Amino acid sequence: MERGAEARTAANEATFREINEAIERGQWPGEEHEPVGFRCECAQLGCNQLLELTIAEYEDIRAHPRRFLVSPGHVRPSLEVVVGTRPEYVVVEKRGEAGEVAEETDPRR
Ligand SMILES: [Zn+2]
């Protein structure tokens, strides 16, 4: 993939990460172990799939700036490697330039 396009894709995914941060902030204290509908953070335009996981599970992913939550089947092997698989969702880690953009755009940095 051409480098500019790769960076734009990563920026798109960073937008969904910010949406999920807002979803997480909307939860009440004590609901850390209740399933919550998070947005798929994949690079597909128009993807609006919801994935159910707990706040605690999402926090495990967000502890790494290069890791994203995606639906099974929405993995882009040219940009990311799978680091965790559950029946409901997949955790991917960005490589190369996509990984650098993911770190630069991490809202918790
Ligand atoms: Zn998706």
Q: Which two tokens stand for residue 102?
A: 């993911």
pLDDT tens for residues 4-43? 777 777 777 788 899 999 999 888 778 778 899 999 999 7
Distance 57 CA to ligand 1 centre (A): 18
Q: Is 22 helix (H, G, I), strand (E, B) or coil?
A: helix
Residue 94 lies in a domain: yes
Whose CA is closest to 42, among 64, 63, 17, 66?
17
Q: What is the pLDDT of residue 44?
A: 83
**Residue 62 resides in a domain:** yes
- Give the sign of the dihedral formed by CA 44, CA 16, CA 5, CA 77: negative
Q: How far is the CA of 108 from the centre of ligand 1 (A)?
A: 22
109 assigned to some structural domain? no
Q: From the CA of 34, how far away is ligand 1's center (Å)?
A: 22
CA of 20 to the centre of ligand 1 (A): 13
Classify residue 97: in a domain, yes or no. yes
Is 75 domain-assigned? Answer: yes
Distance CA 30, CA 10 (A): 32
pLDDT in tens, 42-101: 978 889 899 999 999 999 999 999 999 999 999 999 889 999 999 999 999 999 988 998
50 CA to centre of ligand 1 in angstroms:
9
CA of 13 to the centre of ligand 1 (A): 10
Range of the domain at 98: 3-104
Domain count of the fold of the chain:
1
**Residues surrounding ion ligand 1 at CB below 5 Å:** 40, 42, 47, 49, 71, 74
Asked whether residue 34 is assigned to any structural domain, the reply reads: yes
Q: What is the pTM of this model?
A: 0.82
- Determine, yes or no, domain membership for 98: yes
